[in-house]
């Protein structure tokens, strides 16, 4: 059952490219599993175009409005647009934008939509992307807002798992690190809960997954919480590592105590399954030792490439360039 109707048909046939035209990408929660699967399928078809480029979006403009710095995400969206033949405008330096003159976000959006066919927004405030989408007549893609949502990161995480493991259903997946403030893990945890997975959460006591996220996910899938990765490592198929930021700890001694326990190196990986894959939203600091980079476990740089095709798929879909 697809959750969108009461029919008994195969669910995949219910979703089509037309469902995405003009649509905002604000939260992963706005998408059904079938819609997510559809996006990932289109992303797969973008692998070829990501090599040679395309004229699919020639004449179209993407505005990248980055109210906080995120070089990686910005470059990924820009590359996606260029690979499809479109152009990019925007800013990544809020201090020199008209914001300095006191303009509010609603006015900024209503100006930029006069230039652009789609707006990609990164903003430090919770809910900023949803707010912008309410004012904009063109579609808005949330490239991270506040500490909550980063839907395109979640989609590229899913795409990476499918590409590397052939499926998501049936896997045991661990999310490790800062599960309280990490922007990416909340979107990802929700997305994974749409699949038939076993979820393992590994974090210091003070950085456990937020209760409201946990309660919601628990309704759909099996979850267990741990403070130690070594004990769970032998059973997991996917290890998703995130950074633990020093600033999150009021007490530096507490930070010093936990950080060693959340570092992945060759020694700890001796306990891992042979075909374990390790993901990380990047940038990493030292939570994954560089010696791991050259092992077959490491898929975090491939994740970056996967982000490109996923964003190409989203841009092509919402701008109506995918025909069936």
Give the torsion sign (CA, 71, 161, 205, 216).
Answer: positive
Choosing from 101, 114, 219, 270, which is the catalytic residue? 101
Task: Round to whole Å and give the CA distance between 68 and 123.
Answer: 6
* Residue 80 vs 199, nearer CB to a second copy: 80
- Tell me the closest approach of the beta carbon of residue 277 to a second copy, in angstroms: 17
For residues 227 and 302, which CB has a smaller minimum distance to a second copy in the complex?
302
Q: For residues 232 and 301, what is the distance between their CA atoms, to the nearest angstrom?
A: 24
Catalytic residue among 58, 72, 218, 257: 72
Cβ distance 310 to 84 under 8 Å?
no
Selected catalytic residue, list 60, 73, 180, 243: 73
Of 83, 123, 130, 150, the catalytic one is 150
User: Least distance to a second copy from the beta carbon of 77, Å?
Assistant: 10
Give dist(CA 317, CA 315) in Å, integer: 5
Nearer to a second copy, 54 or 142 (CB): 54
User: For 169-322, where are the E strands, in sequence order?
Assistant: 172-176, 198-202, 222-226, 238-241, 277-279
Q: Is residue 110 annotated as a catalytic residue, yes or no?
A: no
Token couple for 242: 């995130």
71 counts as catalytic:
no
Strands laid side by side in the 87-91 sheet: 87-91, 61-66, 118-123, 140-145
Token readout for 48 is 């070829």
Is 72 assigned a catalytic role? Answer: yes
Nearer to a second copy, 31 or 66 (CB): 66
Q: Does the active-site annotation cover 101?
A: yes
In the complex, minimum distance from the CB of residue 63 to a second copy, in angstroms, rounded to a whole number: 7
And the tokens for 166? 């052939």
Q: Which of 60, 74, 83, 122 is catalytic?
A: 122
* Closest CB 316 distance from a second copy, rounded Å: 15
> Is 257 assigned a catalytic role?
no
> Helix, strand, coil shares of the chain as percentages rounded to 5?
45, 15, 40
User: How many C-beta neighbours within 10 Å does residue 274 have?
Assistant: 6
Q: Which residues bind a second copy (CB under 8 A)?
A: 52-54, 58-61, 63, 69-72, 75-76, 78-79, 82-83, 87, 89-93, 96-98, 100-103, 106-107, 110-112, 114-116, 282-285, 290, 301-302, 304-305, 307-308
Q: Which is nearer to a second copy, 180 or 243 (CB)?
A: 243
Task: Give catalytic residues, as residue numbers.
Answer: 72-73, 101, 122, 150
């Amino acid at each position: 059952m697809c959750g969108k109707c009461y029919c008994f048909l195969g669910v995949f046939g219910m979703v089509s490219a037309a469902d995405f035209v003009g649509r905002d990408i604000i939260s992963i929660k706005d998408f059904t599993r079938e819609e997510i699967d559809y996006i990932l399928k289109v992303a797969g078809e973008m692998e070829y175009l990501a090599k040679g480029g395309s004229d699919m979006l020639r004449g179209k403009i993407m505005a990248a409005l980055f109210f906080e710095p995120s070089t990686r995400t910005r470059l990924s969206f820009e590359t996606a647009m260029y690979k499809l033949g479109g152009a990019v405008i925007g800013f990544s330096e809020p201090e020199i934008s008209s914001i300095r003159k006191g303009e509010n976000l609603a006015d900024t959006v209503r100006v930029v939509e006069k230039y652009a066919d789609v707006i990609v927004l990164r903003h430090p405030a919770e809910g900023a992307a949803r707010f912008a989408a309410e004012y904009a007549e063109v579609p808005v893609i949330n490239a991270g807002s506040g500490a909550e949502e980063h839907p395109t990161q979640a989609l590229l995480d899913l795409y990476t798992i499918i590409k590397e493991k052939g499926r998501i259903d049936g896997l045991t997946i661990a999310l490790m690190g800062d599960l309280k403030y990490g922007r990416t893990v909340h979107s990802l945890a929700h997305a994974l809960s749409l699949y038939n997975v076993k979820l393992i959460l590994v974090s210091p006591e003070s950085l456990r997954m937020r209760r409201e996220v946990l309660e919601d996910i628990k309704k759909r899938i099996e979850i267990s919480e741990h403070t130690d990765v070594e004990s769970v490592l032998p059973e997991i198929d996917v290890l998703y590592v995130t950074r633990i930021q020093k600033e999150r700890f009021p007490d530096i001694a507490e930070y010093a105590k936990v950080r060693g326990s959340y570092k992945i190196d060759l020694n700890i990986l001796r306990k891992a399954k042979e075909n374990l894959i390790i993901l990380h939203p990047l940038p990493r600091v030292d939570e994954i030792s560089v010696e791991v980079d050259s092992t077959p476990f490491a898929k975090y740089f491939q994740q970056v490439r996967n982000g490109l095709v996923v964003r190409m798929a989203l841009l092509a879909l919402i701008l109506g360039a995918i025909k069936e």
